[in-house]
């Protein structure tokens, strides 16, 4: 049996002007924001996350959540920006408005009952 999941989204969120700002304390705050996503959106599954100096890459499973990608990403960006401002970040904008969202077709094959 072959199963397809239409709930996986690979999302890339970029720093304004792709500046390499996600280092040190700002990277730690971003990691905190990523870890908080499933708590903020019960049912959201964080499959994978990678933080680069100029972007955050996420693989999110929306199968058990009734929210859209835009709402989740806006919440993530706002949380990190607010935490950064509390720690003295002085930039007007941390994140680019746009982000990449690619639907991922995950193929899994069950070999149960096959010989």
- Domain positions in the chain: 2-98
List, in sequence order, every residue forming a beta bridge with 109; answer none if it has no partner: 2
User: For the whole model, what pTM was predicted?
Assistant: 0.84
pLDDT one-digit tens code per residue, 69-80: 999 999 999 999
Percent of the chain with pLDDT over 70: 86
What's the distance, CA 110 to chain centroid? Answer: 28
For the chain, what is the mean pLDDT?
Answer: 88
- Average pLDDT for residues 98-109, to the nearest whole number? 76
pLDDT of residue 74: 97
Q: Which helix (H) or strand (E) segment is 49 a member of?
A: strand 45-52
| CATH, domain range 2-98 | 3.30.70.1290
């Amino acid at each position: 049996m072959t199963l397809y999941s239409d709930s996986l989204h690979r999302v890339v969120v970029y720093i304004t002007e792709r500046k390499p700002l996600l280092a040190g304390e700002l990277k730690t705050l971003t990691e905190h924001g990523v870890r908080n996503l499933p708590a903020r959106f019960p049912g959201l599954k964080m499959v994978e996350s990678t933080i680069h100096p100029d972007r955050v890459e996420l693989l999110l499973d929306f199968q058990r959540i009734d929210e859209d990608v835009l709402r989740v990403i806006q919440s993530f960006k706002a949380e990190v920006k607010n935490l950064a401002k509390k720690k003295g970040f002085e930039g007007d904008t941390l994140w680019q408005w746009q982000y990449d969202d690619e639907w991922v077709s995950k193929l899994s094959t069950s070999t149960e009952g096959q010989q």
